[in-house]
Amino acid sequence: MVTLTKAGWLPERSIQIDHWTALLGAEGVKVHAAAAAFLAEFGGLTVENGGPGITRAREPFALDPEECVGEGDRFLDWSQDLGHQIVPVGVLDHGRFFLGLDERSELYVVEGFVSTFGPMPLAMDRLVLGVMPEAVDETAADR
């Protein structure tokens, strides 16, 4: 994907994530295997997206859990409500929204509501290309 390549991503990219694991752990968030793999591949990338997208504007995003420091409770609460462990992985639209990934590699927008871009790798395409995430019913514990 050209947009990710311009941001520094390459196939087989793998970076150390110990700092983020410790940072999130201090907020009570355990980094599961799917989030660890996601962060090793995409962590640290900042995409200066903009302009019209498919069903919403393409927005900039940063895949850096450090941008979510202080929001651990928000992720823990939504994880409990949805029945899936959502780990902070970055921010959307310069920190206006948070991004999280669950143990099934589903990518979420997390705020006072939760929406999903779907499972990886489709979720990354949707995020980059400007596809509106789907609202998640917080009462759907079987999600």
Q: How far apart are CA 28 and CA 4, in angstroms?
A: 30
Helices and strands per DSSP (H, E), number in the chain = 5, 7
What pLDDT sits at residue 141? 45
pLDDT in tens, 93-124: 999 999 999 999 999 999 999 999 999 999 99
Q: Taking all residues of the chain, what is their mean pLDDT, rounded to a whole number?
A: 94
Query: For residue 143, is it within any domain?
Result: no
CA distances from 50 to 11, 28, 33, 57, 80 (A): 24, 34, 31, 7, 33
Cβ-contact 45, 38 below 8 angstroms: no
What pLDDT sits at residue 138? 61
Query: For residue 139, is it within any domain?
Result: no
What pLDDT sits at residue 122? 98
Any idea what DSSP says for residue 86? P
Query: For residue 37, is it within any domain?
Result: yes
pLDDT surpassing 90 at residue 139: no
pLDDT band at 90 (very low <50, low <70, confident <90, very high): very high
Number of structural domains the chain divides into: 1
The DSSP H or E segment spanning 39 is helix 33-42
Sequence-distant (6+) residues with CB within 8 A of 40 are: 13, 14, 15, 16, 17
DSSP-derived 3-state class of residue 34: helix
CATH of the domain at 111: 3.40.1580
Query: For residue 140, is it within any domain?
Result: no
Query: For residue 137, is it within any domain?
Result: no
